[in-house]
Amino acid sequence: EIVMTQSPATLSVSPGESATLSCRASQSLGTNLAWYQQTPGQAPRLLIFGASSRATGIPARFSGSGSGAEFTLTISSLQSEDFAVYYCQQYTHWPLTFGGGTKVEIK
């Protein structure tokens, strides 16, 4: 099973600043990596697939990068609705696995 490790566990950011979230895989994934956002009490929302492609309706301030085993999600100019938990997910190998999440909180 591929282990996905996200860091940091919690990131404190002021509104308007940018945030950089990391996701590391225990094996190479190519670019088969997705990012999701989850706000309290809500289902997750797909943000990024293919490591860097934004899903439908996702604002341009969300960007993904990376390949192989190291990936990054960058959120530029954080808005109030962006404070949430973010998960990465690999889809190269079965079973599908998620990272443990990064909580982006207001500083």
Partner 1 sequence: EVQLVESGGGLVQPGGSLRLSCAASGLTFRNSAMSWVRQAPGKGLEWVSLISGSGDSTYYADSVRGRFTISRDNSKNTLYVLLSSLRAEDTAIYYCAHVDTGTITFDYWGQGALVTVSS
Work out whether the CA dihedral 13, 16, 17, 22 comes out positive or negative: positive
Instruction: Give the shortest CB-81-to-partner 1 separation in angstroms.
Output: 17
Question: Is the Cβ of residue 68 or residue 100 nearer to partner 1 in the bound state?
Answer: 100
Question: Is the Cβ of residue 18 or residue 28 nearer to partner 1 in the bound state?
Answer: 28
User: Which value, to the nearest 10 degrees, does the dihedral of the CA atoms of residues 45, 49, 54, 55 take?
Assistant: -50
- Pairing between β-strand 10-13 and β-strand 102-106 as defined by DSSP bridges: parallel
Question: Is the Cβ of residue 12 or residue 53 nearer to partner 1 in the bound state?
Answer: 53
Instruction: Give the shortest CB-77-to-partner 1 separation in angstroms.
Output: 25
Question: Which positions lie near partner 1, rule CB under 8 A?
Answer: 1, 32, 34, 36, 38, 43-46, 49-50, 55-56, 87, 89, 91, 94-101
For residue 100, count CB atoms less than 10 angstroms from its CB and return exposed for 0-12, middle for 13-18, buried for 19 or more: middle
